[in-house]
Amino acid sequence: MTNWERLVWNQRDVLLQGLAVTIEICLIAFVLAVTGGLILCLLRLYVRPLRPVAVVLTEFFRATPIFVQLMWVAYVWPDLFGWPNEFFVAGCVALGLQSSGYLAETFRAGIEAIPRGHREAGYSVGMSPYQVFLRIVMPQTLLASAPSIVNQFTVIVKSSTLVSVITVQDLMFQALKLVNVWYEPIEILTVTAGIYILFVFTVSQIGKSIADMLRRRYGLGGTETSAA
């Protein structure tokens, strides 16, 4: 029996379980990041009294290392707020918070880049400010921001490897556990790296295909999307 068979193939169920947890964490964190980023962006642009709060939070999430945020949410929040009570939830929240800071700036740049005439055209046909924002501003912003949004998802995937330090049983956690059992890291960690590369590449290609399809559908030129 070769090392690859003994260390990788025979342990495939463990690695696949870890991969499933990684995918779940990344998807939840991505939804939180998009939602949080959009909220921060809208508060900064349209709610003047809360603009300083949005700016401070955005800069804090962007400037703080993900490891520090992870420790902060996992160990400080429970004492301060009584939540989260699970490390899995803490990992999702920490990843989502950091990426929300970057996406807030992405959305802000997209909204501010829309020509004023597009909004005025909507008002001229009787649209309310809410309708203009929902039907004109947001679709263009999301389409223009699609490459950055996809890139941010790949950042979440790569940052998710750190949740293993708070005992979340993701792919990295399972790989390190196998290394500690067998003390033969080459095969296990090589395959683990390959899985992450394949995951990031797949996400990038799917995101690029969707973004280009939507651009063609709405009359905008396709733009290349690259992984972060």
pLDDT tens string 126-140: 888 889 988 889 888
The count of other CB atoms within 10 Å of the CB of residue 168 is 24
Whether 226 shows a pLDDT value over 50: the answer reads no
Average pLDDT of the residues in 100-118: 92
Q: pLDDT at position 2, please?
A: 78
Question: Is residue 220 pLDDT above 80, yes or no?
Answer: no
CA neighbor of 17 nearest in space, from 174, 204, 159, 176? 174
Tens-digit pLDDT profile for residues 27-83: 999 999 999 999 999 999 999 999 999 999 999 999 999 999 999 999 999 999 999
pLDDT at residue 121 is higher than 70: yes
**Segment 131-172, tens digit of pLDDT:** 998 888 988 888 888 889 999 999 999 999 999 999 999 999
Task: Compute the mean pLDDT over every residue in the chain, rounded to the nearest whole number.
Answer: 89
In terms of Cα–Cα distance, which of 99, 109, 112, 92 is closest to 37?
A: 99
CA distance to 137, 165, 191, 227, per residue, from 152 (Å)? 21, 22, 24, 9
146 alpha carbon, distance to own chain's centre: 13
pLDDT at 8: 81
Q: Would you state the pLDDT for residue 228? A: 39
pLDDT number for residue 219: 59
The pTM of this model reads: 0.89
For the chain, domains (ranges, CATH) are 3-217 (1.10.3720.10)
